[in-house]
Structure 1
Amino acid sequence: PGIMEGTGKPEYEKCVAISTEASIKKMMLPGAIAIISPLIMGFLLGPEALGGFLAGATVSGVLMGMFQNNAGGAWDNAKKSFEKGVDINGKMYYKGSEPHKASVTGDTVGDPFKDTSGPSMNILIKLMSIVSLVIAPTLATIFSNQTKKSENIVKENTIIVSPKITKADNTVYIK
């Protein structure tokens, strides 16, 4: 009350507290997904599937992060270019023109892309990789026992055939 009239003081601490609380609540689900996904992949499908999952997440996450950083920077620079003037189809446009207003809208999207979304992809990839490294010894123990059992089954049911190879007159014969 009274801020718009110039008689009251803004309560910055209250604003920051509300924003911080809301952002922490909204980050719970994405953070949980980043932690739980490697656990599910590793324990249900095995280390090979977890490796494939991490490879896919890393490649797509890096590409998405680079796209967001570059797109945000491009939108930011597009707005700044109107200070000097922009030639569009032979006509010069400056600040206050319709194309400048459109570039301001683009910059509104571009700044969060460049400053938050792009770098957070890096954090997501690192978090998933760290969780995977933490569970790796447990997965190795669990799945090495299963591998030994399956190797024994294969050995019991395998007939080994080793053909004899002889050479006569530079010709290879298999007996």
Structure 2
Amino acid sequence: IVSPLIIGFILGPEALGGFLAGATVSGVLMGMFQNNAGGAWDNAKKSFEKGVDINGQMFYKGSEPHKASVTGDTVGDPFKDTSGPSMNILIKLMSIVSLVVAPTLAQVHSKNPVVVNKQEAASKATQISRNNQNTAYYK
């Protein structure tokens, strides 16, 4: 959560954009990997309960390979149920934090700082509106 703030304020908006692009791509891939790996380990344990042929020998529930698959399932369940889906939340949260601080970053890293004068902004908005009405194309 703090990483986009640190990168944005210290290194600038361009570095923050690169960070978000890299985090999004790697986060999506890591999330898919964790979901698939967790499901595979869970299914490996289930297949041993039915019986698995390894090098011509049948292994069932209670065998050494089954015990190893139970350990894999213990690791796989958190991958599948918590770690994989939380990557999606992390990606969204980093992007939202970056969008929230974007105006502040723009002012901090701007070569020409913007000072907002409400009266001047209102008069410019009115002038732009009048110009748009005068140059509008009507059939």
Structure 1 residue runs without a partner (length 5+): 1-33, 150-175
Quote the sequence identity (%): 88
Matching of residue 141 in structure 1 with residue 107 in structure 2: yes
Report the counterpart of residue 97 of structure 2 in structure 1.
131
The CA distance in 2 between the partners of 1:78 and 1:37, in whole Å, is 37
Whole-angstrom distance in 2 between the partners of 1:102 and 1:83: 12
* Residues in 2 aligned to 1:98 and 1:52: alpha-carbon distance in whole angstroms: 47
The equivalent of 2:66 in structure 1 is 100
Which digits, 9 at most, give the CA deviation of each residue in 1:58-110, with x for residues without a partner?
11111111111111000000000112211100111111111111100100000
Structure with the larger helix share:
2
Q: What is the one-letter code of the residue matched to 2:45?
A: K
Alignment of structure 1 residues 79-90 onto 2, 5 Å: 79-90=45-56
Deviation at 1:130, TM superposition (A): 0.5
Residue in structure 1 matched with residue 38 of structure 2 by the alignment: 72
Letter in 2 for 1:63: L
1:39 and 2:5 are equivalent in the alignment: yes
- 1:120 aligned to which of 86, 90, 110: 86
The whole-number CA distance in structure 2 between the counterparts of 1:107 and 1:52 is 36
What is the rounded CA distance, in whole Å, between the counterparts of 2:58 and 2:12 in structure 1?
Answer: 61
Q: Which residue of 2 is the match for residue 52 of structure 1? A: 18
Q: How many residues align?
A: 113
The structure whose Rg is larger is 1
> How far does the alpha carbon of each residue in 1:7-65 deviate from its partner, in whole angstroms, 9 at most, with x for none?
xxxxxxxxxxxxxxxxxxxxxxxxxxx2x111111111111000001111111111111
Q: Aligned-residue CA RMSD in angstroms? A: 1.4
Q: Provide the rounded CA distance (Å) in 2 between the counterparts of 1:122 and 1:109.
A: 20
